[in-house]
Structure 1
C-alpha cells in the first residue's frame, strides 16, 4: 500500500474534471494494458510513476496542488499518462477506478442554491453618488448572501458583477469606470470575507484555490477593462473625491489582507497606484498613512509588511530602486520574486534595459531559493535584456546557477551558440536519457556533430540494461541502434561492433537481454 491520504470524493468530483473524456478513455486503455510502472510516493500527497507508450514518460502528480502536476510527454498536463496513473493508484489503494472513469450520477455536483435576487434598497446607485453611497447599496444586496462551497462563491461573484455593472450602463465613461472599480474592490472584499467564514469547511480547504484563482483573474480583467475606459487626467480633475475614497478603501483592505487572502490585493494596489490614483495630493496622503502603519509595532506583521510593499511601490515609481531594495530587505520577512515580476514587465515595455538588468541581479539570490518555480519567468527577462545589452557571460552564469530548473533555457542557449559538446555534457550531468531530450534537439546535434551523442547513447543504453527488465532491454536495443547509426556516420562502425561484443560478454548472464540483442539483430 502507498503512504497516501486519498479523498475519493475529491478525486471523482474535482480531479476528474481536469481531464477531457477522450483523454480519460485513453488513459483507461493504458491502465488496462499495464503500462504504469514504478509507482512511488513522496509524503501523503505526491505520486510519481512511469508510463510506457510510444516512449516511457515520467508522471508527477500533486494531490494537494493538482495544477502543478506534470508529465514529460509532449501533451503536458492532464494527459492520458496522468489519467492512467490515477487509475492504477486507485486500484492499489482499494478504490474502484471505474468510478473515476465514469462516476455515478449521484456524485455529480448539483447547482448551488443561494439567494442572488436583488433586494429592495432605498435607492439605486447614481453617477452623482459618493463611493460610500454605492457601497451602502452593494452591502444591502449581497453582504448576507448564503454560499455553500467555493464554487458558489465564484457563482456569486459573476452574478453580482453582472447585476451591479449594468446599473451604470448609461453613465459618462469616466465615472462609470470609477464605479466599476469600486464594484470589483467590494466583490473582492466580499469573497475574502465569505472564504474566511467558511475556512473550516472541507470544500474550501481542498478546492478553494481553483475557484478563487478564477475570481482573481476575473477581477483583474475587469479592473484592467475599467482603467482603459478612464481618462486619468479627467478623473483626477473632476472626481478627485471619488478617487480619495477608492484610495482609502484600497488601503484598508490591503492592510487587512494576510497570506490567507485569496485575492491579490498587492497587485491590484500597484495597478491602481501606477496610474489612476497617482495624483500629487493622493500620493502624499497615502505615503503618510503607509509610513504610520509600517512604523506601528502594535500592528500585525502582515499589515506592516503590506505598508512596506506599498511604500516600495512609490520608490519604484520615482525610480529610486536602491531605496526600494533596502526597504524590502529590512522590512519584509520573505522576498517572493513573483511579487516583482510585474515591475520587470513594465521595464521591458518601457525598454529600460539597464534598470531591468539591475533588478535581475538583485532578484537572483531569491530566485535561486526556489528555482524550480521561478527560473522560467526569471530567465525570460534575462533573454529580453541580453538582446539589448551585452551580458552574454552574466546571462550564461544565471542559467548555470539555476540548474537543473533552467535546463530548457540553457539547452536552447547552447544549441543556438552551436556549443554541442557543452550541450552533451549538460545532458550527462543531469542524467538525461534520449527519451527525455527533445527529438528536434537530438536531430540537430546528430546532423551537426554526431560524435557528441556517443556518450549519451552509451550511458543511456547501459542504464537500461542495469534495470533488468524486458521493457528496459527493448529500450536499450533502440538506443544501441541509434548508436550504430551515429558510429556509421562517423565511419567508425568497427568500434561499435567491438563495443557490442564487449557488452554482450559483460552481460552474458542476462538471458532476456541476449534474446533482445538477437531479435534486434545487434548480434547474430
Structure 2
C-alpha cells in the first residue's frame, strides 16, 4: 500500500513540475541538495501522509498529503510546493526506488526537447529544399502542409507534450518559407495553413492522449496564436481586391473548415472560434451559408454516441444569425443547457451590438440573463466567475445604454451577484439609492466598519437613517454572543448610534430605544457593566432628564 501511494505521489510531483521551467528546476535542485546532505530527519509514512522535520537554516515541519499533493504543508513561509517538501519527497521515494533515476527521467523531456529542436531544424531545411516556393494550387498547398507536419511532429520518437511548441514553431517557419511571393496569394496561403495546421495539431493532441490540463500547460497557446493570426488575416484579405480564381480556393477552404467541427472531441471553444471567424468574414455568400446548414443537419443525423454535437449546434446557430434567421437560432439556444451555451452567447451579443441591430440583440440578452446564473453556479471559483461577469456586463452595456434599458442592466447586476458587487454598489450609490445600497452591503456580508469612509461621510450627510439599520443589527448580533469581548464591540456600535440619532435631532428615539434595550438585557450584568464603563447608561439618563 505504501509503495502504491508513493508511486502515485511521484507521478503527481512529476506532472506538477516542468524541467523546462527555470523555477521548477531550481526547486528540484534545492530539494535534492537537502536530501543528499541528510537534512531530513526520521520520516513517518502513514496511510494518507508523510511527515518529517527538515533541518534547514531553521528546522521546519513538513507534511506531504499522499491523496492531494496540493493539501501538503510546510511550516516555512513559502506558498505551494517548497524545497523542504521536495526533500521529504525524495527521502520517502528512496524507500521504493532510485532518486537519481527519478530525477534523470524527470529531466529527460528537456534533453529530448534540445535533441528534437536540432533534428527539427535540419528536417525543415530538407523540406524547404524539396518544396521551394509553392505556386497557387490548393491541393499542393494542403499536401505540403500535411507532409511537413507529419514529418516534423507526427513522429513516434517522443511523447512529451513540452516538445510540441518547439517543433511546431519550426514547422511554421518552414511553411512560411514556401509561401507564394504575391501578397494576395500569400495571405490566402497562410489562412489555409492555419486551418490545416489547427486541425492537424488538434488531432495529434487527441491521438497522443494529452489531457486538457497537459495541453493547457504545454501548448494551448499555439492554438490561441493561430486564432489571433487568423483574425489579422481575414481583415487583410477583406480589404484587398481578390483574384478571379480565388473562389475555387475559398470553396476548398470552406470544406476543410467544416472538419474543425468534428475532427476531435476537445478544444471546443478554440475550434468554434476559428470556424465562426471564417464564416463571418470569408464565406459570405448566402447560398454557401444555407448549404452549410443543410450539411450540418446531415452530419448531426449521422453523429455517433461518442461524438460531441455542440460545435455543430453552435455553428448552426451562428449561420442562422448571419442569415438573419433569428427564430431558429433562438430555438436552438433555448434547447442547450445553461452551463454549455452561455459563454457562446456573448459572441452573438457583441456581433449584433456592433451592427447596432438592437431589435435582434434584445431577445438574445434576455435569454442570456435567464441562463447566466446557472452558468456561474456550474463554473465555480471566484476569479473565473468574476472575470466572466465583467465580460458579460461589458457585452450588454451598449444595448442598455443605447436603448435606455438600465433596468435590464440592473437585472444583470442582480443576477451576477456577488461577482458584480463593485459595479452594482457604484450604480446604487451614484443614483443616491442609499437604502438599496445598504441592503447590498449586508448581502455580501459587509458591516458599517467595512464601508469606505468617504461613502459613510456622504451618507451621514445625505441620508443617515440608512446607517441606523446597519448599526442596530451589528449591536444586536454582538449582544447575542454573550461574552465580554462582544459586549465591548456592541457598546462601540451603540455609541456610534447615539451620535447619529443626535445628528438627526432624534434624541428621544435614542432614549426610547436604549431604555428598552437595557430592560430586555437586564439579566446580562456584564453588558450593563460595559455600558456603565463607557458612560452610555449615564448618557441615557441625562437624556431622559
Same fold (TM over 0.5): yes
Query: Match for 2:430 among 416, 420, 428?
Result: 416
Q: Distance in 2 between matches of 1:483 and 1:198?
A: 68
- The answer to whether residue 136 in structure 2 is matched with residue 128 in structure 1 is yes
Looking at secondary structure, tell me which structure has more helix per residue. 2
Query: Match for 2:259 among 252, 257, 265?
Result: 252
Q: Any idea what SS the aligned residue of 1:126 has?
A: coil
Q: Distance in 1 between matches of 2:193 and 2:276?
A: 18
Query: Match for 1:378 among 382, 389, 392?
Result: 392
Once the two structures are superposed, residues 219-251 of structure 1 have per-residue CA deviations (whole angstroms, 9 ceiling, x without a partner) of 221111222221367447432222222211111
Once the two structures are superposed, residues 467-514 of structure 1 have per-residue CA deviations (whole angstroms, 9 ceiling, x without a partner) of 799999998898778767756654668949959995998876599x96
Structure 1 stretches of 5 or more lacking a match? 20-43, 45-62, 65-85
Counterparts of 1:323-402 in structure 2, within 5 Å, are 323-330=328-335, 335-371=340-376, 373=385, 374-402=388-416
Counterparts of 1:472-511 in structure 2, within 5 Å, are 489-490=503-504, 495=510, 498=514
> Which residue in the other structure is 1:152 paired with?
163
> Which residue in the other structure is 2:279 paired with?
273
C-alpha contact (below 8 Å) 2:184/2:240 kept by paired residues: no
Once the two structures are superposed, residues 445-474 of structure 1 have per-residue CA deviations (whole angstroms, 9 ceiling, x without a partner) of 445333312333443466577779999999
Give the length in aligned residue pairs.
Answer: 445
> Which residue in the other structure is 1:51 paired with?
none
> Which residue in the other structure is 2:62 paired with?
none
1:230/1:417 CA distance change after superposition, 3 Å? same
Query: Match for 2:185 among 155, 175, 192?
Result: 175
Moved more, 397-406 or 310-319: 397-406
Q: Any idea what SS the aligned residue of 1:310 has?
A: helix
> Which residue in the other structure is 1:292 paired with?
298
Q: Distance in 1 between matches of 2:23 and 2:480?
A: 37
Q: Any idea what SS the aligned residue of 1:367 has?
A: helix
1:490/1:289 CA distance change after superposition, 3 Å? same
Q: Distance in 2 between matches of 1:476 and 1:394?
A: 40
Q: Any idea what SS the aligned residue of 2:351 has?
A: helix
Moved more, 400-409 or 418-427: 400-409
C-alpha contact (below 8 Å) 1:454/1:483 kept by paired residues: yes
Q: Distance in 2 between matches of 1:154 and 1:479?
A: 60
> Which residue in the other structure is 2:317 paired with?
312
Query: Match for 2:441 among 421, 427, 440?
Result: 427
Moved more, 278-287 or 360-369: 278-287
- Normalised to the residue count of structure 2, the TM-score between the two structures is 0.65
Deviation at 1:317, TM superposition (A): 0.7
C-alpha contact (below 8 Å) 1:464/1:475 kept by paired residues: yes
Deviation at 1:281, TM superposition (A): 5.5
Q: Distance in 2 between matches of 1:467 and 1:183?
A: 69
- The answer to whether residue 171 in structure 2 is matched with residue 164 in structure 1 is no
Q: Any idea what SS the aligned residue of 1:351 has?
A: coil
C-alpha contact (below 8 Å) 2:184/2:242 kept by paired residues: yes
- Normalised to the residue count of structure 1, the TM-score between the two structures is 0.68
Deviation at 1:273, TM superposition (A): 0.4
> Which residue in the other structure is 1:218 paired with?
225
Q: Distance in 1 between matches of 2:401 and 2:242?
A: 39
Structure with the greater alpha carbon radius of gyration: 2
1:189/1:298 CA distance change after superposition, 3 Å? closer
Bigger relative contact order (CA 8 A; separation at least 6): 1
1:101/1:403 CA distance change after superposition, 3 Å? same
Structure 2 stretches of 5 or more lacking a match? 1-7, 25-47, 49-66, 88-102, 378-384, 539-545
1:173/1:281 CA distance change after superposition, 3 Å? farther
C-alpha contact (below 8 Å) 2:501/2:507 kept by paired residues: yes
Q: Any idea what SS the aligned residue of 1:144 has?
A: coil
Q: Distance in 1 between matches of 2:246 and 2:132?
A: 20
